[in-house]
């Protein structure tokens, strides 16, 4: 990758992080999550994790990205488990999860497995 490619990639990532910051703000202002302990720190951590594994740079994590993330978090999942997670979070409407889905999944009471 030449300098130009690296620069474009960097700009893309910066743009993406800005978008994730906006979504984090929504969660900060959401009544439902007001009581969440250390919400700002958690959201910052989620943002960094998400940016690391958003492999298609479309703003979504696909099955392989999620599988890799789970392995890195020390909770490896089978392909089928990961597929189930995505279906659970998206209601079956997508094969990828977006950042909103991801945060909901991470903050969800049922997903203790995913706590960072």
What burial letters (b/e) apply to 38-74, b meaning 16+ CB within 10 Å? ebeebbeebbebbeebbeeeeebbbeebbbbbbeeee
- Here the CATH number for the domain that contains residue 108 is 1.10.238.10
**HEC assignment per residue over the chain:** CCHHHHHHHHHHHHHHHHHHHHHHHHHHHCHHHCCCCCHHHHHHHHHHHHHHHCCCCCCEECHHHHHHHHHHCCCCCCHHHHHHHHHHHHCCCCCCEEHHHHHHHHHCHHHHHHCC
How many domains does one find in the chain? 1
Tens-place pLDDT, residues 30-42: 988 888 889 999 9
Tens-place pLDDT, residues 3-12: 556 677 777 7
> What would the mean pLDDT of 92-112 be, rounded to a whole number?
81
Per mean pLDDT, which of 10-24, 30-44, 50-64 is the most reliable?
30-44
Binned at pLDDT 50, 70 and 90, residue 107 comes out as confident
- Judged against a pLDDT cut of 60, whether residue 44 lies above it is answered with yes
Q: What is the pLDDT of residue 110?
A: 53
- Domain residues for the domain of 26 are 3-114
pTM more than 0.85: no
Higher-pLDDT residue of 8, 96: 96
């Amino acid at each position: 990758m030449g300098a130009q490619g690296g620069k474009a990639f960097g700009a893309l990532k910066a743009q993406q992080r800005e978008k994730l910051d906006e979504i984090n703000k929504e969660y900060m202002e959401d009544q439902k999550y007001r009581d969440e302990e250390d919400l700002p720190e958690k959201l910052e951590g989620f943002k960094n994790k998400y940016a690391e594994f958003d492999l298609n740079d479309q703003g979504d994590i696909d099955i392989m990205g999620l599988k890799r993330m789970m392995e890195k978090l020390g909770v490896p999942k089978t392909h089928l488990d990961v597929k189930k997670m995505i279906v659970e979070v998206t209601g079956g409407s997508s094969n990828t999860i977006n950042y909103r889905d991801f945060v909901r999944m991470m903050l969800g009471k049922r997903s203790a497995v995913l706590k960072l």
